[in-house]
Structure 1
Amino acid sequence: MSHWTFICASSELLPGEMRTGFDEITEAPIVVFNLDGELYALEDQCTHEDFELSAGVFNADEGSVECVLHGARFDVRDGRALCAPAYTAATRFPVKRENDGIWARDDRED
């Protein structure tokens, strides 16, 4: 798969912020995090229960996002679950800066 989903303009995602997008082809929700200038993208879905990670709190000091539903936390760099009730990592997606924009893609096989 070579399609990329436009998330936002580069200027709209500052360090410590997150933005969401939606892959129209795979129907995957995507959340992109700016952690000290580095970009990371995860599927915008808690692995404990189907709920948007982007509704939670992005802690830029520790590089984690916390699901507001039950408090599961994930490392935004690699998606790994940091505490119960989540035990499965969130899916990580490729992300890039190109043409003054931020792009991500669901690279899982169909």
Structure 2
Amino acid sequence: MGEFVRAASTTEIAPGHSLLVVLKGKQIALFNVGGEFFALDNLCTHEEGPLAEGEIEGHEVTCPWHGAKFDIRTGEVLCDPAYEAVARHNVRVIGTDIEVEI
């Protein structure tokens, strides 16, 4: 099991947006969906496109490079060209701090 590390403040990510953070040398995409926060590895499993720069629609993020879609809550692939899920990280909010388990 990993440890929780402070990643950002809740005020840094507006609903429907994302933020790229680097925690322990790992790129993590943080997402705010309706006030709930989620964290995935930033790199798409197809060709390592930056998911933090992807379009967010509901609980889906679309890779800006080739259009693979992932479920923000689970990391599961929703459409080609990716075939592998993206790693998901546990998130907790304490006060206004977002912490991610790494």
- Gapped runs of 5+ residues in structure 1? none
Question: What residue in structure 2 maps to residue 101 of structure 1?
Answer: 97
Q: Distance in 2 between matches of 1:29 and 1:16?
A: 19
Please say if residues 52 and 67 of structure 1, whose CA atoms lie closer than 8 Å, have aligned partners that are also in contact.
Answer: yes
User: Deviating runs (4+, > 4 A) in structure 1?
Assistant: none
Deviations 1:44-64 (A, max 9, x none): 11011122111211123xx11
Question: What residue in structure 2 maps to residue 22 of structure 1?
Answer: 22
Question: What residue in structure 1 maps to residue 85 of structure 2?
Answer: 89
Task: Tell me how large the CA RMSD over aligned residues is.
Answer: 1.5
Q: Distance in 2 between matches of 1:23 and 1:41?
A: 11
Q: Does the residue aligned with 1:82 lie in a helix, a strand or coil? A: strand
Q: Distance in 2 between matches of 1:32 and 1:51?
A: 15
Q: Which amino acid aligns with 1:57?
A: E
Shift of 1:2: 4.7
Please tell me whether residue 57 in structure 1 is matched to residue 48 in structure 2: no
How many pairs are equivalent? 102
Aligned identity (percent) is: 34
Q: Which amino acid aligns with 1:21?
A: V
Q: Distance in 2 between matches of 1:46 and 1:2?
A: 22
42-51 or 13-22, which deviates more: 13-22
Question: What residue in structure 2 maps to residue 76 of structure 1?
Answer: 72
